[in-house]
């Protein structure tokens, strides 16, 4: 699997259960979210614009994906909604690694490029270094309809949070995705 | 890292925060546990006895480890306490893979041998097939003092549960383990 295939397999609508373990407090916080992931053409104006923002030749964009989320976390009353565009740019000499451009960081609102690596175990690792924070996320498919994510956050040099998401496919946005089922309940019967 | 080094790095006392996502119910359940992991000599009577129980030559045991836990889960009032002995037996032709003998399964009380694989990414994967259940667990160290675990459970062919544990080292049982810190709070400042 390469990064484009990983995004293609991620396309669709997902129900995501999230748990964050706050390590210093020894407390956990749960949340739920609907997530929609849509593939974008390489020449989509938003993809081209993001490349230009990072001063990267848009011809190097492998693909684009728009991720939209809408959820709640336990400890606050705020709605967690947002949307971001992701564009992977492969390293010239390492096809399974590269930069991941995004127009909004997950953890901070500033634009920031991360590093991605697709491992031999088909898992996608994303590393993002912010000014005062380091985030390492691992995403993998237990089945076409069950996607798992872990992430660890370091602030000021120490680990502050470990998080886990289990994501069940609720539907597909791509007609070509014949592997995916259109019903949420099928996720638990997918092998 | 090989399986023995993984166990050595695991030796000590850990505070474990666990979250289980029940996929069909879309509900999560949290728990907390103290875990103690102790290395055992290859010729420890309990190691030899476990090998004999599985009809494996005790000379093939790479090491032994005793895992003891004491915790609570949210949805029941029971104390979750127990202890098991683990003994890895490497495949003759694949040094980083093999059988993991244990005298009590985590998910069912019957004795059952699992498969282990130590990946190039230093993560330990444990696969256990019970009669009506399949469990796949991944363990890795974010730092010497922060161990993470995910597991997925399949029952009757469908995924039923995805779990995540973050484990903070509370102390060491091995004097030789100089990398590890003896205070819990240092886990969050370990890099």
In the stretch 127-186 of chain A, residues with CB closer than 8 A to chain B read: 136, 142-143, 146, 148, 150, 152, 154, 157-160, 162, 164, 166, 168, 185
Report the alpha-carbon distance of residue B162 to residue A145 in Å, rounded: 13
- Contact check, Cβ <8 Å, A21/B21: no
- Across chain A, which distance is largest between two alpha carbons, in Å? 47
- Contact check, Cβ <8 Å, B28/A23: no
Report the alpha-carbon distance of residue A28 to residue B138 in Å, rounded: 20
Contacts of A181 in chain B (CB under 8 A): none
- Contact check, Cβ <8 Å, A152/B148: yes
Paired tokens of B154: 């399949």
- Contact check, Cβ <8 Å, B143/A159: yes
B46 phi-psi bin (left φ>0, alpha ψ -120 to 50, beta other)? alpha
Average pLDDT in chain B? 86
Q: Whose CA is closest to A28, among B12, B23, B151, B20?
A: B20
Contact indicator for A69, A34 with CB cutoff of 8 Å: yes
Nearest to B24 among A19, A30, A188 (CB): A188
Q: Is pLDDT at B99 greater than 80 in this prediction?
A: yes
* ipTM of this complex prediction, to 2 decimal places: 0.82
Q: Is pLDDT at A96 greater than 70 in this prediction?
A: yes
Q: Whose CA is closest to A144, among A180, A173, A175?
A: A180
CA distance A44 to chain B (A): 35
Q: Between A and B, how many CB-CB pairs are < 8 A? A: 98
Paired tokens of B130: 């019970």
Nearest to A28 among B24, B30, B146 (CB): B30
Cα separations (Å) of B138 from A164, B21, B115, B172? 13, 16, 12, 22
- The residues facing B99 across adjacent strands are B89, B115
Contacts with B25 (C-beta within 8 Å, 6 or more apart), sequence order: none
Average pLDDT in the B171-179 region?
Answer: 47
Measured in whole angstroms, how far is the alpha carbon of residue A27 from the centre of its chain?
Answer: 24
CA distance B88 to chain A (A): 22
Residues B41/B46/B47/B51 CA torsion (nearest 10 deg):
160
- Show contacts of A43-51: CB within 8 Å, 24+ apart: A46/A85, A46/A103, A47/A85, A47/A87, A50/A85, A50/A87, A50/A101, A50/A102, A50/A103, A51/A87, A51/A89, A51/A101
B/e letters for A8-25, b = 16+ CB within 10 Å, e = fewer, are bbbbbbbbbbbbbbbbbe
Average pLDDT in the A71-96 region?
Answer: 88
In the stretch 25-64 of chain A, residues with CB closer than 8 A to chain B read: 26, 28, 30, 32
Report the alpha-carbon distance of residue B113 to residue B90 in Å, rounded: 13
Paired tokens of B137: 């667990």
3-state secondary structure of A94: strand
Instruction: Quote the CATH superfamily of domain B3-185.
Output: Calycin beta-barrel core domain (2.40.128.20)
Residue in B closest to A152 by C-alpha: B142
Task: Quote the pLDDT of residue B182.
Answer: 37
**Tens-place pLDDT, residues B7-54:** 999 999 999 999 999 998 899 999 999 999 999 999 999 999 999 999
A189 touches chain B (CB under 8 A): yes
Q: Is pLDDT at A95 greater than 80 in this prediction?
A: yes
- Contact check, Cβ <8 Å, B148/A162: yes
**Tens-place pLDDT, residues B111-127:** 678 999 999 999 999 99
């Amino acid at each position: 699997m390469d990064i484009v295939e990983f995004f293609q397999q991620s396309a669709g609508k997902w129900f995501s259960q999230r748990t964050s373990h706050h390590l210093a407090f020894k407390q956990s916080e749960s949340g739920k979210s609907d997530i929609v992931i849509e593939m974008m053409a390489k020449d989509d104006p938003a993809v081209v614009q993001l490349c230009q923002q990072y001063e990267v030749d848009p011809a190097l964009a492998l693909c684009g994906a728009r991720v939209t989320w809408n959820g709640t976390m336990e400890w606050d009353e705020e709605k967690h909604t947002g949307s971001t565009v992701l564009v992977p740019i492969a390293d010239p000499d390492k096809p399974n690694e590269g930069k991941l451009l995004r127009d909004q960081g997950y953890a901070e609102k500033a634009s920031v490029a991360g590093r991605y690596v697709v491992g031999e175990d088909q898992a996608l690792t994303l590393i993002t270094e912010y000014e005062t924070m380091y985030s390492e996320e691992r995403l993998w498919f237990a089945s076409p309809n069950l996607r798992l994510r872990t992430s660890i956050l370091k602030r000021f040099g120490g680990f502050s949070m470990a998080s886990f998401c289990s994501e069940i496919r609720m539907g597909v946005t791509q007609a070509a995705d014949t592997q995916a089922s259109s019903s949420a309940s099928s996720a638990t019967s997918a092998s």
